Amino acid sequence: MTIFYIDDFLKVAIKYEDDIKRIIDFDDSNLYSIYRGRVHKISKSMNCAFVDIGLDKYGYLELNDSIGDIKETDEILVQVKKIPEGDKAVKLTMEISFSGQQIVFFPQRKFLKFSRKLEESERKLLLKIAQENKMEGVLFRSGAKSFLGSDLVEEYINLKTNAEAVLREINLRPTPKLLYTKDKLSEFLNANYREGDKVIINSPKLYSLYSEKYNTVYKQGFKISYNPILFNKYKSLFQKKIELENGTNIIIERTEALCVIDVNSASYKGNLDFEDGILQVNLRAAKEVAKQIILRNISGIIVVDFISMKKEEHKRKLLSALKTYFNEDYSQTKVFGFTNLGLVEISRKNSGKELKKKIGD
């Protein structure tokens, strides 16, 4: 049985089985929202346009993210691409997309694209499904390979219907106007909930909203209950030091420029006199490192100081394992390899606020 904890204080939803499996942030409500906005100013020197979408600050649109020529006072359709840290303006794009569980639909495009994680045989099968059902403007996620063709077609139709409803409002005033925003919490529950699971909410408002919504609209029989106490299932995700077995630990430190993770074996109770022992410790640490990065939603540049290894074969095994652990990451993550100083360098795309920053450093 899976338990979903909905914490309205931190604005996060947690999928918990024997351990924390996934956390989503439903606080960044503007992310992926679609607006009809008005071009306020175009700066050729900055290669951008500033667009009024009704927020406190004008949105920032890079001109290479625009479709066609735009000029000042034009009314255009834009989507929030990125919400930066601090008080900077949101980053916009005119490349509109609607994300589903297994596909992403681009209503203005005709292409068929595939996740790089899909094998060639899987791509051919998905291409056949798309062509037989006249699907276009679709990016297939890596998980699409596990779904029936009928499920993919149904999701495509639903996303296309949503897109058509939004596009019908392109020329309808007023401007600026919010046309579409994602209900990330509903999407999370719909994608993950199975019969017999439980949902626990610590907000009376959310409890009232979702208990009515899921018991009457979706009729999925959600077992929703209310508990006013803040949950402690994820306390370890705010700790600097994470203890592993046999005395090994990892230490996570965030600076303004990057995140540094140190694998510490000072209290290790096993034998590190042999290279094989060091590799096994590093492999176990790599699994926890990937988990903490994903769940804490750490983004940007990340460097990991594993226990030093001499054999190139062992280094390759460690990098291969680390890449595998990131396969299920919903954000774009890249493992670059070892630097000249022996550190593993990782980059992860910004996909919302880091968990720790919700309660302050």
Coil, strand or helix at 302: strand
Taking only the tens place, the pLDDT of each residue in 76-135 is 999 998 887 666 789 999 999 998 878 999 999 999 999 988 899 999 999 999 999 999
Work out the mean pLDDT of the chain and round it to a whole number: 86
Mean pLDDT for 149-177 is 89
Rounded Cα–Cα distance for residues 11 and 202 (Å)? 11
Give the lowest-confidence range in 46-60, 160-174, 224-238: 224-238
| Cβ atoms of 296 and 356 closer than 8 Å | yes
Predicted TM-score (pTM) above 0.75: no
CA distance 236 to 62: 39
Q: Domain 34-93: which topology?
A: OB fold (Dihydrolipoamide Acetyltransferase, E2P) (2.40.50)
What is the per-residue pLDDT across 252-266, written as a single tens digit (0 to 9) for each? 998 888 999 999 886
Let me know if 325 is exposed, middle or buried by CB neighbors in 10 A (0-12, 13-18, 19+). Answer: buried
Cβ(224)–Cβ(201) below 8 Å: yes
Provide φ and ψ at 335, rounded to 5°: -100, 110
Cα–Cα distance list, 126 to 148, 152, 358 (Å): 10, 9, 40
| CA distance linking residue 237 with residue 20, whole number of Å | 10
Per-domain residue ranges of the chain: 34-93, 236-358
